[in-house]
Homo-oligomer: A and B are copies of this chain.
Amino acid sequence: MKAKLIGVGRATLAQEARAEIERMITEGELTAGEKLNELDLSMLMGVSRGTVREAIRSLADSGLVDLIANRGAFVHETTLSEVQNLYELRGAIFAMACAAAARRVGTGEERDLAAALAVNIDKMEGAQETEELATYYALNIEFHDMLMAAAGNPKAKVIYDNIKREMHLFRRKGLSIASNIARSLEEHRVIADAVTAGNEAAARDAANAHIQRGFDRYMITAGRSRETEK
C-alpha cells in the first residue's frame, strides 16, 4: 500500500516519461545515435504521444539527446574529441570541488568527511585485494560523490554528474572501464589526504591529476579497442 506523495514533489506523467527515457539511455536500451520514435515510446509507456514529446523536450539541454527540427530526437553521439573535452571539464570541476572540500574541512564546516573517506578507502583496498571489480567501481563512484557533495556547491555537482552521464554515451559502444586499480587507489589516497588536511592547493592538483590520468588510462583502452575493430 503506497501512500500518495502530496505537494510539490509529485511527478507529472511527462516527468515520469523523462525519467524512463533517461534510464533507457544511460542503461543502453537506447544507444548513441538512435532515434527516439515518439509513437513507439508512447505505446511502450502507455501515455499519449504529446506527453512523450514533453518528456523529450525537457531533455533539450541535458546533453543526452539532440533535437533536430522536423526529424526528431536522437540519442547524442559523443565523439572521442568530445570525451576529451568532457574529461578536461570534469577535471577542472572536480579539482575545484576538492579544493572547496579541503577549505570546508579546514574551517570546520565539513566534519564527517575525513572519517567517511577513510572508511571508503579501506573498503576499496578490500575490493582491490579480493579483485571485486564491480565493488571497487561502486566505491569509486561513492568516493567521487562524497567529495562533490562536500564542496557545498550543488550546481557544480549537477554539472559534474551531467558530464559523467554524457561521457557514458561514448562508453556504451562497448568500451570497458579502464582499470588500473592500484594506481587509481593510490591517487584516491593522495586526494583524501590533501582534503582531510585542509590543503586546498594540494587537493586541487591531486584531483585534477587523478581525472587526467583517468583519461590517459581511458585513452589507452580506447586505442586498443580501435585496433580490435580494424
Contact = CB atoms under 8 A, between A and B. Distances in A.
Chain A, interface size category, equals 35 or more
A100 interface: yes
A71 B156 contact: no
Q: How many copies does the complex hold?
A: 2
A13 to B, nearest CB: 10
Interface in A79-106: 82, 85-86, 88-89, 91-93, 95-96, 100
A135 interface: no
Interface string A178-191: 00000000000000
Nearest to A96: B92
A61 interface: yes
Contacts of A67: 58
- Most chain-B CB neighbours within 10 Å: which of A15, A95, A96? A96
Given A54-B57, A57-B54, A58-B60, A89 B155 contact: yes
Interface string A5-29: 0001111101100000000000000
Given A53-B54, A61-B61, A62-B61, A8 B68 contact: yes
